[in-house]
């Protein structure tokens, strides 16, 4: 058993076309992404836009098997099922952009413009992490079959692991008040759906411009580490395939995921 019990919420009040209309809430699960992948692997068709939400996720995962810890009942931990069969595999980072913009815009409704997307998959407020995204694509030959999008947002948690001191924050810590989890989930579903429909319509340039406008450290000086070398550079864009473009000493270079580390500015 990977969950204690499941509550199916059929008559929710989300003002969306499909994202979140099929909402399944779990009391406890190892990973909402794992749970959703198990559902997708079953023969019964799953409605696009299905959301699996967990009150407690005890083995949530971040990018490249990093672990995501969350205090039970205090935060948003959920996964979203999408079917971007219209998207070419070479453009898969565009899905990351669309989802990131949607979550960013939803959180900005609470926190304002200091909320940024940190490439490739984090959400930052000022210099602190407030959330993360993990997208796992399921391919069929050379086409998309499905995308499982795991999302974790620090909402009402106030106490974090000492190792994360000054590196993590939450909506509650910033606003100094609790936030209704379902209200925030509703906003995220609405904004993600809006950006996903733009992606589906082929509005790539619009999405890229919007993504860069809210990108952490875009057009700003920052310190980075690459192959044990620390350097100063400026993020100038995102290359095809989602590579990060940094200009240093007048030369632009592209970096793949986990190749370059963001350092705190001195």
- Least confident piece of the model among 5-19, 107-121, 238-252: 5-19
Contact 224, 263 (CB under 8 A): yes
**Quick check: 2 pLDDT over 50?**
no
Contacts of 90 (CB under 8 A, 6+ apart): 240, 241
Range 125-139 average pLDDT = 95
Residues 85-125 pLDDT 10s:
999 999 999 999 999 999 999 999 999 999 999 999 999 99
42 vs 198, residue with greater confidence = 198
CATH architecture assigned to 6-213 = 2-Layer Sandwich (3.30)
3-state secondary structure at position 61 = strand
C-alpha to C-alpha distance for 103 and 231, rounded to whole angstroms: 31
14-18, 103-107, 159-163, range with greatest mean pLDDT: 103-107
Beta strand extents in 83-177 (DSSP E only):
115-118, 122-125, 128-140, 143-153
Nearest-Å Rg of the Cα atoms of the chain is 18
Candidates 62, 6, 24, 88; CA nearest to 257 is: 62
Place of tokens 């919007």: 210
Q: Which residues contact 1 (CB under 8 A, 6 or more apart)?
A: none
- Comma-separated ranges of CATH 3.30.930.10 domains in the chain: 6-213
> What are the residues whose beta carbons fall under 8 Å from the beta carbon of 126, sequence distance 6 or more?
114, 169
The predicted pLDDT at position 34 comes to 94
* pTM of the predicted model as reported, rounded to 2 decimal places: 0.91
Tens of pLDDT, residue by residue over 247-264, are 999 999 999 999 999 998
Q: CA torsion, points 193, 196, 200, 202, in degrees to nearest 10?
A: 130
Q: How many residues does the structure list for the chain?
A: 266
Q: Give the residue among 46, 71, 74, 50 at the shortest CA–CA distance from 60.
A: 71
pLDDT category, 5, cuts 50, 70, 90? very low
Give start-end residues of each CATH 2.30.30 domain in the chain. 221-263
- Strands ordered across the beta sheet of 128-140: 6-9, 23-26, 51-54, 76-82, 143-153, 128-140, 122-125, 115-118
Q: Phi first, then psi: give them for residue 98, nearest 5 degrees.
A: -60, -45
For residue 208, the number of C-alpha atoms closer than 13 Å in the C-beta half-sphere is 17
Indicate the burial class of 166 (C-beta count within 10 angstroms; 0-12, 13-18, 19 or more): exposed
Q: Is the pLDDT of residue 66 over 80?
A: no
The whole-angstrom separation of Cα 121 and Cα 8 is: 29
- Give the H or E element holding residue 106: helix 93-111
The model's pLDDT over 114-130, given as tens digits with 9 standing for 90+, comes to: 999 999 999 999 999 99
pLDDT at 86: 94
State in words which class domain 221-263 has.
mainly beta
- Looking at residue 204, what is its pLDDT? 97
């Amino acid at each position: 058993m990977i969950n204690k019990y499941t509550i199916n919420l059929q008559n929710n009040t989300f003002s969306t076309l499909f994202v979140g209309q099929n909402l399944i809430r779990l009391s406890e699960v190892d990973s909402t992404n794992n749970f959703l992948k198990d559902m997708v692997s079953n023969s019964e068709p799953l409605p696009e836009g299905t959301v699996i939400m967990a009150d407690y996720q005890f083995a949530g995962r971040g990018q490249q098997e990093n672990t995501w810890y969350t205090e039970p009942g205090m935060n948003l931990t959920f996964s979203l099922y999408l079917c971007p069969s219209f998207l070419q595999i070479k453009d898969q980072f565009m899905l990351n952009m669309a989802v990131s913009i949607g979550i960013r815009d939803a959180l900005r409704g609470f926190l304002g413009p200091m909320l940024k997307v940190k490439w490739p998959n984090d959400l930052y407020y000022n210099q602190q992490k407030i959330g993360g995204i993990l997208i796992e694509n399921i391919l069929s030959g050379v086409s998309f079959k499905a995308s499982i999008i795991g999302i974790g947002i620090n909402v009402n948690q106030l106490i974090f692991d000492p190792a994360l001191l000054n590196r993590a924050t939450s909506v509650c810590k910033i606003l100094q008040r609790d936030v209704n989890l379902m209200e925030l989930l509703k906003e995220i579903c609405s904004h993600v759906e809006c950006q996903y429909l733009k992606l589906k319509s082929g509005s790539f340039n619009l999405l890229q411009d919007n993504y860069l406008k809210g990108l952490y450290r875009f057009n700003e000086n920052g310190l980075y580490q690459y192959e044990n070398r620390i350097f100063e550079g400026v993020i100038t864009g995102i290359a095809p395939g989602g590579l990060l473009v940094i200009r240093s000493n007048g030369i632009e270079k592209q970096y793949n995921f986990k190749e370059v580390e963001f350092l705190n500015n001195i």
